[in-house]
């Protein structure tokens, strides 16, 4: 009987013991998750065909590959001068983010983007980062050129607006990424953060003027898929950015990207002078005491267009946008604990051609203005459901009365 | 397409000069780097990791001792390093360097952690100071005696 009781007791104690173990293991496992070896140690007989599964990340049982991404989709109904194309649903993009720490201070980061369904598939970003110092990180691979703020900060869920800012997609060709390498670093003090980035990459080609837009249009260069393979003219594009941030106050960034876009020589034969494209940008953001968030970007582009091109092709372009986002309610809403309801406004402008006509001295228009009021609801900071109303004036070269576009957009974007 | 461009002597010299300068300044930068310091001998004892207090002392070539503001602790097999921050001689904080947004490993700075993936930032206690991350980092209780700093994992 005594043994019987003891036995029962032991049994009763077992689950308790096990429980202690699992709770302790949970945090231990979180910390030592890498050690779960996928192959049992005795299965060491390797064949050549095992090689695919024998990559370092599987054999050492590392599990530190982070996977994520974001998705955005919307509906829209737009009218231009009273004519509409009707109602459409748009699957703007889905991106997949993959990252891994390869070794101490060596990281791999990547982002693959599927745009408009699968019409465009791009490696937006695939780089290796080596940290030598907090101020001195080496980055190489396909990198996003640090021009302005939007290009690197383009993730859909971060914005209250469905469309990307026009000057950041039509002057700065966001998302603009290229193969290359460079350095970046950050310096922290109590209230200040200073950061810099400097890269050499492949760059633009002559499609920025030889395109079907009939104007100078930097994004047209993205059609050149070879830019990931070789430089169009052998001259690297330089991109430099520096930013200064004061905690709780705001941030200001200054960036420049410049290079030669034409093929000025071929097989040692000089074909043309070196024609440059230079883009400057200023970006800023601040949060007012009312918790209103203001962010914006201004951009200027100078393009050395050959004289054989008409004045229609802009030698100077400029544009900018400003977003004002004001939270009208924050906190618990509809069962979400950290929800927010915002009203927002974007004002934006693109001037494709800043010059005046030589003959008449009159302004070359070719520009647009747009105003986008918005309401957004965020069940959590990483998901946004947003409704936009867009009003846009497009003025042609000669300054005829603008084409007016207006319409509603409704959509969502979320990290996953 | 193969291109056999001829370059003249001046161009060649210019390129070489630039390359040399690049290499020289690069190596100068490398040697002057104070890279992030990983604790040399952390010890795992049951559910705690012990780190010697000495690990915070940075000894320069001339023998001058300065104190590191933070060190990283990484045991064999550990999924992410732990950021061990020194607030004072007796007060330390420890957080796991795994971004709460999508799990990327963070970069360590003095008093701050940043994520190179989407730009989240945290303070030394693991509190989010910049999104898109929503949740704070996993933080561990830390105790210290005159010789050792103990990170309580479970
Ligand atoms: S994984 Fe760190 S910010 Fe997204």
Phi-psi domain of B20 (left: phi exceeds 0; alpha: psi -120 through 50; beta: other) = alpha
Compute, in angstroms, the gap from residue B105 CA to the centroid of ligand 1.
8
User: Is the CB of residue A232 less than 8 Å from the CB of residue A206?
Assistant: yes
CB–CB contact A132 B29 (8 Å)? yes
Instruction: Tokens 């026009």: give the residue.
Output: A166
pLDDT score, position A229: 82
Put simply, whether B22 touches A (Cβ < 8 Å) is no
* Interface predicted TM-score of the whole assembly (ipTM), two decimals: 0.75
For CA atoms A200, A201, A202, A205, give the dihedral sign.
Answer: negative
B8, pLDDT greater than 70: no
Per CB-CB distance under 8 Å, the chain B contacts of A188 are 109-112
Of the candidates B47, B78, B116, the beta carbon closest to that of A129 is on B116
Two structure tokens written together for A122: 């791009």
Name which residue sits closest to atom 1 of ligand 1, judged by CA.
B102
Q: What angle do CA A376, A409, A165 make, to 5 degrees?
A: 80
How confident is the prediction along chain A (416 residues), in pLDDT tens digits per residue? 444 444 444 444 444 444 444 455 667 767 776 444 344 444 445 566 665 555 544 434 445 688 889 999 999 999 888 888 888 888 889 999 998 888 888 889 999 999 887 788 888 899 999 988 888 899 999 999 999 999 988 989 999 999 999 999 999 998 899 999 999 998 888 789 999 999 999 989 888 898 888 899 999 988 887 888 888 888 899 999 999 999 888 999 999 999 999 888 888 888 888 899 999 999 999 999 999 999 999 999 999 999 888 888 999 999 999 999 999 999 899 988 889 999 999 999 999 999 888 888 888 899 999 999 999 999 988 899 999 999 999 998 888 998 999 999 999 999 98
Put simply, whether A380 touches B (Cβ < 8 Å) is yes
Give residue B67's pLDDT band: very low, low, confident or very high (50, 70, 90): confident
d(CA A15, CA A25): 15
- A153 SS3 class: coil
Compute, in angstroms, the gap from residue B94 CA to the centroid of ligand 1.
19
Taking the CA atoms of chain A, what radius of gyration do you get in angstroms? 27
pLDDT score, position A43: 47
pLDDT score, position A5: 45
Task: Return the residue in B70, B75, B100, B117 with the most chain A beta carbons within 10 A, the one to mutate for interface testing.
Answer: B117
Q: Give the chain A residue whose CA is nearest to the CA of B33.
A: A133
* Residue A236: CB atoms within 10 Å: 17
B3, pLDDT greater than 80: no
Compute, in angstroms, the gap from residue B56 CA to the centroid of ligand 1.
28
Per CB-CB distance under 8 Å, the chain B contacts of A112 are none
CB–CB contact A268 B102 (8 Å)? no
Put simply, whether A274 touches B (Cβ < 8 Å) is no
Q: What is the pTM (predicted TM-score) of this model?
A: 0.81
Put simply, whether B5 touches A (Cβ < 8 Å) is yes
Per CB-CB distance under 8 Å, the chain A contacts of B6 are 268
Per CB-CB distance under 8 Å, the chain B contacts of A232 are none
Domains detected in chain B: 33-152 (2.102.10.10)
């Amino acid at each position: 009987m005594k043994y019987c009781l003891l036995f029962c007791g032991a049994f009763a104690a077992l689950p308790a013991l096990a429980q202690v173990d699992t709770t302790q293991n949970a945090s231990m496992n979180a910390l030592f998750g890498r050690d779960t070896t996928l192959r049992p140690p005795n299965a060491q007989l390797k064949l050549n065909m095992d090689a695919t599964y024998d990559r370092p990340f599987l054999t050492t049982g590392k599990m530190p590959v982070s996977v994520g991404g974001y998705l955005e989709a919307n509906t829209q109904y737009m009218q231009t001068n009273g004519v509409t194309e009707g109602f459409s649903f748009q699957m703007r993009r889905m991106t997949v983010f993959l990252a891994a720490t390869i070794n101490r201070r060596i990281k791999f980061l990547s982002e693959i983007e599927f745009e408009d369904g699968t019409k465009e598939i791009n490696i937006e970003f695939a780089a290796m980062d080596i940290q030598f110092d907090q101020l001195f990180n080496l980055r190489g691979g396909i990198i996003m050129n640090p021009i302005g703020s939007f290009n690197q900060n383009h993730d859909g869920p971060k914005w209250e607006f469905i469309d990307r800012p026009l000057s950041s997609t039509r002057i700065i060709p966001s998302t603009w990424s290229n193969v290359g390498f460079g350095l970046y670093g950050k310096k922290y003090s109590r209230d200040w953060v200073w950061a810099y980035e400097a890269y050499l990459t492949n760059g633009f080609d002559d499609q920025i003027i030889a395109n079907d837009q009939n104007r100078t249009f930097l994004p047209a260069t993205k059609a050149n898929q070879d830019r990931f393979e070789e430089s169009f003219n052998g001259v690297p594009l330089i991109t430099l950015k520096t930013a200064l941030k004061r905690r709780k106050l705001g941030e200001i960034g200054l960036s420049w990207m410049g290079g030669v876009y034409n093929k000025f020589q071929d097989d040692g034969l000089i074909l043309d002078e070196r024609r440059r494209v230079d883009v400057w940008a200023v970006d800023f953001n601040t949060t007012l005491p009312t918790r209103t968030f203001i962010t914006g970007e201004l951009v200027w582009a100078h393009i050395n267009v050959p004289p054989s091109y008409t004045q229609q092709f802009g030698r100077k372009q400029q544009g900018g946008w400003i977003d004002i986002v004001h939270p009208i309610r924050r906190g618990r809403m509809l069962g979400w604990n950290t929800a927010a309801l915002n009203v927002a406004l974007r004002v934006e402008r693109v001037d494709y051609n800043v010059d005046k006509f030589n003959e008449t001295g009159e302004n070359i228009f070719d520009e647009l203005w747009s105003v986008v009021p918005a309401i957004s609801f965020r069940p959590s900071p990483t998901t946004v459901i947003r409704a936009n109303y867009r009003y846009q004036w497009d003025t042609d070269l000669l300054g005829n009365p603008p084409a007016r576009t207006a319409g509603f957009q409704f959509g969502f974007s979320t990290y996953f | 397409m193969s291109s056999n461009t001829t370059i003249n002597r001046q161009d060649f010299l210019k390129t070489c000069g630039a390359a040399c300068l690049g290499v020289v300044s690069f190596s100068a930068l490398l040697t002057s780097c104070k890279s992030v310091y990983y604790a040399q001998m952390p010890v795992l004892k049951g559910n705690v990791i012990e780190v010697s207090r000495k690990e915070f002392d940075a000894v320069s070539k001339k023998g001058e001792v300065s104190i590191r503001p933070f060190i990283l602790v990484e045991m064999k097999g550990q999924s992410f390093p732990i950021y061990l921050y020194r607030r004072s001689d007796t007060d330390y904080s420890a957080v796991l360097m795994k971004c709460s947004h999508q799990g990327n490993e963070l970069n360590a700075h003095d008093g701050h952690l940043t994520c190179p993936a989407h730009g989240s930032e945290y303070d030394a206690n693991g509190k989010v100071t910049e999104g898109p991350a929503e949740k704070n980092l996993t933080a561990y209780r830390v105790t210290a005696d005159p010789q050792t700093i103990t990170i309580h994992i479970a």
